[in-house]
Amino acid sequence: MRPLMETYDIFVASPDFIAHWGMPKDLDDLRKNFPFSSLINATTGQPWDIFIDEDTILVPQKLGFITTDIYSELKAVLAGRTVAHISSKIYKPYIENGQLVQLFLEQQFEKWQLYLYHPYQPITSPRVLKVFDLLTEIMQKRYK
């Protein structure tokens, strides 16, 4: 297992969405009154819970868009249809060019580590290790 990057998720919306719906006052206002996009847990068929920190789980009440694909969720947010809770790797270029706005700037979100995993084998051939090394290098370049 090799670490690739440290990331975190934030709430984002498009400027058009904010112009139409306004800014949520707090997480409870967001949960109750704003259309939200969510990724579906393929095992349960239910939206994933949003873990804000160790003690807080946000469960949106107004789902405006559900999907299994993070990039479809991103398109819904960019189109001004929903608010989303997405990874720093995904939203960063859109925040920088003004297509998305971060909500709750004061909120500290929990960081987590993204890893590249290779199952343990007692004997691993050099070529498999080389592929794992190359994948690690490629992924680290992509995510930095």
Q: How confident is the model at residue 19 (pLDDT cuts 50, 70, 90)?
A: very high
Alpha carbons 85 and 102: distance in angstroms, whole number: 10
Question: Does this model's pTM top 0.95?
Answer: no
pLDDT at residue 18, rounded to an integer: 97
When pLDDT is averaged across residues 115-144 and rounded to a whole number, the result is: 84
Q: Between the CA of residue 107 and those of 34, 87, 123, 131, what are the distances in Å? A: 18, 15, 46, 40
pLDDT at residue 9, rounded to an integer: 86
Is pLDDT above 90 for 15?
Answer: yes
Is pLDDT above 90 for 35?
Answer: yes
Contact between 110 and 85 (Cβ < 8 Å): no
Q: Is 140 exposed, middle or buried (0-12, 13-18, 19+ CB in 10 A)?
A: middle
Q: How confident is the model at residue 3 (pLDDT cuts 50, 70, 90)?
A: confident
Q: How confident is the model at residue 49 (pLDDT cuts 50, 70, 90)?
A: confident
Mind listing the pLDDT tens digit for each residue in 87-128?
Answer: 877 888 899 999 999 998 887 777 778 888 888 778 888 898
pLDDT at residue 80, rounded to an integer: 95
Q: How confident is the model at residue 33 (pLDDT cuts 50, 70, 90)?
A: very high
When pLDDT is averaged across residues 131-137 and rounded to a whole number, the result is: 89
**Which CATH topology does 8-112 take?**
D-Maltodextrin-Binding Protein; domain 2 (3.40.190)
